A and B are shown apart, each in its own frame.
Chain A
Amino acid sequence: MTAALHAKTPAPGGALAVETVGMTMRFGGFTALDDVSIRIAPGTLHALLGENGAGKSTLVKCMMGFYHASSGQLMVAGREAPVADPRQAHALGLGMVYQHFTLVPSLTAAENLVISREDAPRVIDWRRETAALEEFMARMPFRVPLGQPVSALAAGEKQKLEILKQLYLGRRFLILDEPTSVLTPDEADEVLGHVKALCSAGEITVLMITHKFREVTAFADDVSVLRRGRLVGQGRVADLSHARMAAMMMGEATLPAPAARHGTPGEVVLAVEGAVAPDRSGLKEISVDDLKVRAGEIVGIAGISGNGQMEFMEMLTGQRALISGGMQVNGTPYHATRGEQRRLAIRTLPEEPLRNACAPRMSVAENIAFRSFDAKGAGGKGAPSSFWLNRRQMRKRGEALVAGFKVRTTSVDAPIAALSGGNVQRAVLARELSGDVDLLIISNPCFGLDFAAVSEIRTRIMAARNAGTAVLLMSEDLDEILELSDRVLVMSEGRIVYEVPAAEADIPTLGSHMGGHHMGGHA
């Protein structure tokens, strides 16, 4: 079952065998990593799968010496290797390529390579270094132009240079953290092809964190799956189907029971038709052809982070201009202006509320008043606007909502940044859910919150649905989607690729769509 079949006799100085034994990491009372033992045979490409928060980053940080594991060991080349800091990991030949580039854009590839060396001389003899670099490049199976500034390189070239840098530094075991997240599919295939070839040649061993099943199948030899800090599955890629991997990742037996609900969906409230907008990188497009949310239903959009959910949220909240298509609410065009939001009673809960929905240095009462400060009364549906602020009313309303939503704060005059994450989210929820709400747009509402806050916030969302609010819920937490939604949609690579009534959803199918495998998902 394990990778023993792939074991090759390592060439001297070649690929390293690395193994974690009972690796455990606790942060206070929280166990981020629970007794994880993974053996990575020399010369193999080993994929590490898992949802957000499954413990992948924690594991590799322990291996690289960024964290000190609470218990467990790291074995390198069959010997116990204590790694106190990244420097020691480097000395052992362990290296890591991060999700985002760590090259200096204004320097050339050659300069980047030379300065990355720990023993880089004070005065650099460029003629000698260039000769050495060219000789190094000649030995490599793939090349990057040495003389160009890194900023002039395409993303794929930069990623190749990151890998070359690790080889140049003599690293023989590489951890790649989602190495293709910033690459186009073609670039991804090329880079991973080279990585795979280096492994097969016995030059390096690779542990690759990824979300993409396609890449696992095409390039990896073995796979390990983490879920909630535990190693829940392992095996040879050749023996595993996508459905099987998805099931391991999501945990097959734990389909959460949908929360209690009543009432049936009513009229269409939100309709998105052919809406297209550029994504973060500007290279790809987010395109939502047809999405409808009805009164009294929760439509959940599942997906692995970085597949366009953030951009779609920005489209819905007027932060990202559409190239074509449009949105309608109650049959009239919607552009997310304040007037429309008030008239149509539309509310929003963006993810990371302190960063996206609050002014951190303004007080709790002021933050709670964001919906109502410019309206007479409580700023309910269609309230007339008001030029003057009513500060006494603002404070009184703040105090009432703080009490009603159990926001824990010393005073409503405290800056909202002084509150804990759960209490910031409660304050924002108090603001967005007070009064009539016809449409509620939510993104990752429970990110980073403790258990009590999570269940309370979900209860409030469900209560809004039961009261007839149309809810669009985007979340990377599949459990949350399945618990709350009436219908589940999957977003992948900027598109809605799958839709299913929540009652009929099954995790392997969802998982394989989330993993970017839309055609053969049912195979």
Chain B
Amino acid sequence: MAEQSVTMAPGTGGRRTEWLAPLARRAEGVVLPVAALIAGFALFALFLLMLGKSPVDFYELVYKAGFGTAFSWQNTLSRAAPLLFAALCVALPARLGLVVIGGEGAIVLGGTATGALGVCLAGTPGVVGLPLMALGGALTGALWIGAVGALRHYRGVNETIASLLMAYIGIALMNFLVEGPLRDPASLNKPSTAPLPRSLQVGDIPGMDVHWGLIVALVCCVLTWVLIERTSWGFAARIAGGNVRAAQVQGLPVGRLIVGFTALGGAFAGLAGFYEVAAVQGSANASLAAGYGYTGILIAFLARQNPLAIIPVAILLAGFEASSGLVQRRMDLPDATILVLKAVVFVVILVSDTLYGRFRLFSPERWRTR
């Protein structure tokens, strides 16, 4: 972060500029987040030193627990699925200039809807029941976050605050439902909906201990990238995100774009809830509020709201989460240590956002004016 002026003499000759320029433009979006990530790790290392722990041991342990073995990779990947969905719920509205940070609410309610539908659909074959449950979860999430977009566009309610507060409402609603109307009387210690029958559970990818949600989430990331970068709807959304006045003058349906994109983001978060219930927990309960929605914010920002970049970043963060247990046991550090690491990285990422366009290296139009 300390580097104030990156001075390099890029070729000013016409032909070299021609192929260097697009490269330089793209590099900014990769170099700055990676630099910020490294800076965040370094700061966290200081924090560990303050606690009298060895940063080297820590990062080594995180690597081993998250990515060291086939087993740890499976652990990491099965945590990555909800994170991918949660990050999409941030990245999609972000392309319209909206900072939505309440994906957690949509995850929790999507999961609750899945659990409730599972009870209703008990006895139907999986081919029928599972798509219906997935649809139910996605729709619930879409309504929840779509409402945030609608409040923003039609009533001028700040979407960041609204989505955050609605997440608390969503969690309370889930608790009320699983402890009340939807509670399985047999669930004594941990109030839950009735366990899903085997036929209504999502299985694992053959040969792996990871459920199908990962594949679906990866496909969703790719499709979202295609939507944003390769279709006219995505382009229209980027115009609206870039300058809403310009979008209005162009006659673009800004309201529909905002509600549509926020709802789609919410649908992805709802799907995360669906997989948590149908593939991991087997029923809807308070474990749904595991903080995936919040980690998703960090991932989306690290990935610069790019759905393809979300994939590696989500896997990295899933590795951190997977390692937290081991870190706690081996290094005698509290469970919250990984939270501190995430927070440090997030703050550094936010700070790095102010550095875009500051470096001549990445702006070919300024090369000549040296």
Residues of A within 8 A of B (CB): 317-319, 336-341, 348, 350, 355-362, 366, 369-371, 373-374, 385-389, 391, 409-411, 413-414, 418
The contact string, 1 if C-beta is below 8 Å from chain A, for chain B 226-243, is 000111111110110111
**Which residues of chain A have C-beta atoms less than 8 A from B252's C-beta?**
338
Contact A370 B239 (CB under 8 A): yes
- Residues of B near A359 (CB, < 8 A) are 238-239, 241-243, 246
- Is there a chain A Cβ closer than 8 Å to B131's Cβ? no
Main secondary structure of the interface of B (DSSP, over half): helix
Residue pair A362, B249 in contact (C-beta under 8 Å): no
B186 to chain A, nearest CB (A): 50
The chain B residue with its CB closest to the CB of A363 is B25
Closest to B251 in A: A338
Majority DSSP secondary structure for residues of A touching B: loop
Q: Is the CB of A362 within 8 A of B242?
A: yes
With contacts A358-B243, A411-B21 known, is A373 near B232, CB below 8 A?
A: yes
Q: Which are the 7 A-B pairs with shortest beta-carbon distances?
A: A359-B242, A338-B251, A374-B232, A418-B365, A410-B365, A341-B251, A359-B243
Q: Is the CB of A371 within 8 A of B250?
A: yes
How far is B364's CA from A173's CA once the two chains are assembled, in angstroms?
51
Q: How far is the CA of A350 from the CA of B238 in the complex (A)?
A: 20
Q: How far is the CA of A356 from the CA of B232 in the complex (A)?
A: 21
B36 to chain A, nearest CB (A): 19
B250 close to A360 (CB less than 8 A): no
Q: Please state if B232 and A418 are interface contacts (CB–CB under 8 Å).
A: no
| Structural contact, B249 and A319, CB atoms closer than 8 A | yes
Q: Is the CB of B246 within 8 A of A357?
A: yes
A374/B236 in contact, CB under 8 A: yes
Contacts of A371 in B (CB 8 A): 250
Inter-chain CA distance A135–B368, complex, in Å, is 64
Q: How far is the CA of A359 from the CA of B254 in the complex (A)?
A: 14
Q: Is B249 a contact partner of A356 (Cβ separation < 8 A)? A: yes
Q: A362-B239, A413-B22 are in contact. Are A389 and B364 (CB under 8 A)?
A: no
Would B242 and A360 count as touching, CB distance under 8 A? yes
CA distance A411 to B363 in the complex (A): 11
* Smallest CB separation, A353 vs chain B (Å): 9
- CB-CB contacts below 8 Å: B97-113 with A: none
A359-B246, A414-B364 are contacts. A387–B233 as well, Cβ < 8 Å? Answer: yes
Neighbouring B residues of A355 by C-beta, 8 Å: 243, 245
* Known contacts A356-B249, A387-B231; 5 further A-B pairs (Cβ under 8 A): A371-B250, A373-B236, A389-B235, A410-B17, A411-B21
B303 CB to closest chain A CB, in angstroms?
17
Q: Contacting B246 at CB < 8 Å: which of A341, A358, A373, A391?
A: A358
* Contact among A350, A373, A410, A414 for B249, CB-based, below 8 A: A350
Name the A residues within 8 Å of B253 (CB-CB).
Answer: 337-338
Residues of the A chain whose Cβ atoms lie less than 8 Å from the Cβ of B234: 389
Give, as a whole number of angstroms, the nearest-CB distance from B218 to chain A. Answer: 22
Tell me, rounded to whole Å, the shortest Cβ–Cβ distance linking A16 to chain B. Answer: 45
Contacts of B248 in A (CB 8 A): 317-319
- Closest-by-CB residue of A relative to B226 is A388
- The one of B235, B243, B249 in contact with A374, judged by C-beta atoms closer than 8 angstroms, is B235
Residues of chain A contacted by B366 (CB below 8 angstroms)? 418
A64 vs B239: C-alpha distance when bound (angstroms): 42
Question: B243 near A317 (CB under 8 angstroms)?
Answer: no
Of B229, B239, B245, B365, the residue contacting A356 (CB under 8 A) is: B245
Q: Please report the C-alpha to C-alpha distance between residue A355 and residue B235 in the assembled complex, in whole angstroms.
A: 19
Q: How far is the CA of A301 from the CA of B258 in the complex (A)?
A: 35
| Cβ distance A104 to chain B, nearest Cβ, rounded Å | 23
Interface string of B1-41 (1 = CB under 8 A from A): 00000000000000001000110010000000000000000
Are the C-beta atoms of B230 and A388 separated by less than 8 Å?
yes
15 CB < 8 A contacts A-B = A319-B248, A339-B251, A356-B243, A359-B239, A362-B239, A366-B235, A374-B235, A387-B233, A388-B232, A389-B231, A391-B230, A410-B17, A411-B21, A411-B364, A413-B21
CA distance A5 to B235 in the complex (A): 67
- With A338-B250, A338-B252, A409-B365 known to touch, is A319 a contact of B235 (CB < 8 Å)? no
CB pair B249 A348 closer than 8 Å: yes
Taking the closest CB of chain A, its distance from the CB of B279, in whole angstroms, is 33
Q: Which of B235, B241, B367 contacts A373 (CB 8 A)?
A: B235
The winner among A339, A359, A391, A409 for most chain B CB atoms within 10 A is A359
A411 CB → nearest B CB, Å: 6
Residues in chain B near residue A411, CB distance under 8 A: 21, 364-365
Chain B residues with CB under 8 A of A389? 229-232, 234-235
Residues on the B chain within 8 Å of A340, using CB: 251
- Known contacts: A374-B232, A387-B231, A389-B231. The answer to whether A410 contacts B364 by CB under 8 A is yes
A418–B363 CB distance below 8 A: yes
Do A356 and B246 form a contact, CB below 8 Å, given A374-B235, A388-B230? yes
User: Chain A residues with Cβ under 8 A from B21's Cβ?
Assistant: 410-411, 413
B246, A361: Cβ atoms under 8 Å? no
What CA separation (Å) do A319 and B238 show in the bound complex? 18
Q: How far is the CB of B26 from the nearest CB of chain A, in Å?
A: 10
Give the distance in Å from the alpha carbon of A254 to the alpha carbon of B272 in the complex: 70
| Interfacial chain B residues near A391, Cβ < 8 Å | 230
Rounded to whole Å, the gap between the CB of B246 and the closest CB of chain A is: 5
Cross-chain contact of A410 among B235, B238, B245, B368 (Cβ < 8 A): B368
Residues of A within 8 A of B17 (CB): 410
Q: By the criterion CB–CB under 8 Å, are B230 and A360 in contact? A: no
A414 to B365, CA, bound (A): 7
Point out the residues of chain A lying under 8 angstroms from B251, CB to CB. 318, 336-341
Contacts of A317 in B (CB 8 A): 248-249
Task: State in angstroms the CA–CA spacing of A318 and B253 once bound together.
Answer: 10
B87 CB to closest chain A CB (Å) equals 21
Q: A359-B239, A386-B232, A389-B230 are in contact. Are A370 and B250 (CB under 8 A)?
A: yes
Considering residues B17, B22, B230, which has the most beta carbons from chain A within 10 angstroms of its beta carbon? Answer: B230
Partner of A385, one of B232, B238, B239, B243: B232
Within 8 Å CB of B22, what residues of A? 413
Contacts of B245 in A (CB 8 A): 319, 350, 355-357
A385 to B253, CA, bound (A): 15
Instruction: Pick the residue among B238, B363, B365 that contacts A362 (CB under 8 A).
Output: B238
Residues of the B chain whose Cβ atoms lie less than 8 Å from the Cβ of A358: 242-243, 246
| Residues of chain A with a CB closer than 8 A to B364's CB | 410-411, 414
Contacts of A369 in B (CB 8 A): 235
* A318 proximity list for chain B (CB < 8 A): 248-249, 251
| Chain A contacts for B229, CB-based, 8 A | 389
C-alpha gap A338/B21 in the complex (Å): 34
Chain A residues positioned under 8 Å from B235 (CB to CB): 366, 369, 373-374, 389
CA distance A390 to B76 in the complex (A): 38
In the bound complex, residues from chain B placing their C-beta under 8 Å from that of A388 are 230-232
Q: Which residue of A lies closest to B243 (CB)?
A: A359
Q: How far is the CA of A36 from the CA of B288 in the complex (A)?
A: 74
CA distance A385 to B236 in the complex (A): 13
With A and B bound together, what is the CA distance between A389 and B239 in angstroms? 14
A385 to B364, alpha carbons, bound, how many Å?
34
| Alpha-carbon separation in the docked complex, A353 to B364 (Å) | 23
Q: Which residue of A lies closest to B247 (CB)?
A: A359
Which B residues touch A348, using CB under 8 A? 249
User: Chain B's nearest CB lies how many Å from the CB of A318?
Assistant: 6
- Closest residue of chain A to B235 (Cβ to Cβ) is A373
In whole angstroms, what is the CA distance A318 to B248 when docked? Answer: 7
User: What is the bound-complex CA distance between A348 and B252, given in angstroms?
Assistant: 13
Closest Cβ–Cβ distance, residue B124 to chain A (whole Å)? 35
Nearest Cβ in chain B — how far from A314, in angstroms? 9
A410 to B81, CA, bound (A): 42
